[in-house]
């Protein structure tokens, strides 16, 4: 049996049904991946300079991180927040979807986590910019955590939106 919480109520709110279409979910995944890739590129470009951490990089980083909030909210609404809700608020099908996506991205997530450590160590060894190395490591580790969300949002079948209350006799 499932339990209704305020967080669950938000994700189940029918005002956000537009966010649950396949097209919207795909666009949210692409936007998050593009934003993350842009931040990785910006970090690498900044690391290639002598200055390293500059005000302009700080602005780019801050804007990117702030942009993640609405983007991830949109993505989460699209998948009814299956990864952020307590297990008790999910039925067996929803738990299955969550576990399936976790399992499918297990190896890529492990590889990204390893890349986060290796990339950060390599960057600090080559450029000496410790803060930027931490930024790169954080971004790749963050991407590893986002992979199950992206997998589910990309693969989830469209929901049935037909009205079923007026059933034939």
Partner 1 sequence: MGRQPRGDADRVHDRIAVLRAERRVSRKELADAVGVHPQTIGYLERGEYSPSLVLALRIARFFDLPVEAVFSLDPLPAIGSELLRRNQ
Told to check if 160 binds partner 1 by CB under 8 A, we report yes
Q: How many positions of this chain bind partner 1 (CB under 8 A)? A: 17
Q: Which of 50, 69, 93, 107 binds partner 1 (CB under 8 A)?
A: 93
DSSP class of residue 20? Answer: G
Closest to partner 1 by CB, 125 or 169: 169
Number of C-alpha atoms within 13 angstroms, CB side, residue 101? 21
Q: What is the dihedral of CA 45, 46, 51, 56, to 10 degrees?
A: 130
Closest to partner 1 by CB, 3 or 62: 3
Q: Which of these segments, 40-48, 89-97, 106-114, 134-142, binds partner 1 (CB under 8 A)?
A: 89-97
Q: Which of 95, 111, 117, 118 binds partner 1 (CB under 8 A)?
A: 95
| CA distance readout (Å), 118 to 45, 108, 141, 143, 149 | 18, 15, 11, 15, 24
Told to check if 159 binds partner 1 by CB under 8 A, we report yes
């Amino acid at each position: 049996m499932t339990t209704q919480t305020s967080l669950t109520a938000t994700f189940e709110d029918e005002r956000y049904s537009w966010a649950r279409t396949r097209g919207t979910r795909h666009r949210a995944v692409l936007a998050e991946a593009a934003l993350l890739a842009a931040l990785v590129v910006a970090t690498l470009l900044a690391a290639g300079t002598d200055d390293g951490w500059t005000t302009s990089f700080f602005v780019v980083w801050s804007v990117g991180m702030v942009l993640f909030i609405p983007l991830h909210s949109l993505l989460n609404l699209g998948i009814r927040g299956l990864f952020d809700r307590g297990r008790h608020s999910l039925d067996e099908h929803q738990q299955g979807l969550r576990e399936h996506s976790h399992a499918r991205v297990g190896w890529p997530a492990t590889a990204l986590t390893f890349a986060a450590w290796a990339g950060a160590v390599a960057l600090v060894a080559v450029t000496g910019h410790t803060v930027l190395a931490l930024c790169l490591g954080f971004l790749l580790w963050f991407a590893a955590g986002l992979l199950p969300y992206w997998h589910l949002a990309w693969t989830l079948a469209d929901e049935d939106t037909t009205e079923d209350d007026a059933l034939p006799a």
